[in-house]
Amino acid sequence: MNKKDLEYFEKLLFERRKQILEQLKNIEKRMRTSQQDSSSDLSLYPTHEADIATDAESREENVFIAGNRADILGRIDRALKKMSKKMYGICENCGKEIEKERLECIPYARFCVGCERERER
């Protein structure tokens, strides 16, 4: 991978990182407001089971999304670290270069397509 490619993917990683931090912030905000909503509901109105279910569901969903985003954030940081060690774009399993098309979609990919497929089995 040449310098120009590296700069391109570095930019991609930073952009993705910014997006995810933004999303995490939004989820956090949403979870905080939904918690406030439900506690005020409890004191003011009789609660309906259906409402509780939807509430719990959306909270669960938020937790899931937040966990997923945090996971990606970790992968991005890892990729940036690899970049500083000049290891970026190298498959951590077989040591070959990861396909550029793959990095276009997943700039924080750790494995090449072949090894990823092996791991999924």
Binding site for Zn ion (CB under 5 A): 91, 93-94, 112, 115
CB 96, min distance to Zn ion, A: 5
CB 23, min distance to Zn ion, A: 29
Query: How far, CA to CA in Å, does 26 sit from each of 21, 59, 63, 79, 118?
Result: 9, 13, 12, 24, 35
Rounded to whole angstroms, the Cα distance separating 65 from 68 reads 5
φ, ψ for residue 97, nearest 5 deg: -70, 140
Q: State both tokens at 55.
A: 């509430």
Shorter beta-carbon distance to Zn ion: residue 38 or 93: 93
Shorter beta-carbon distance to Zn ion: residue 3 or 85: 85
CB 115, min distance to Zn ion, A: 3
Shorter beta-carbon distance to Zn ion: residue 13 or 112: 112
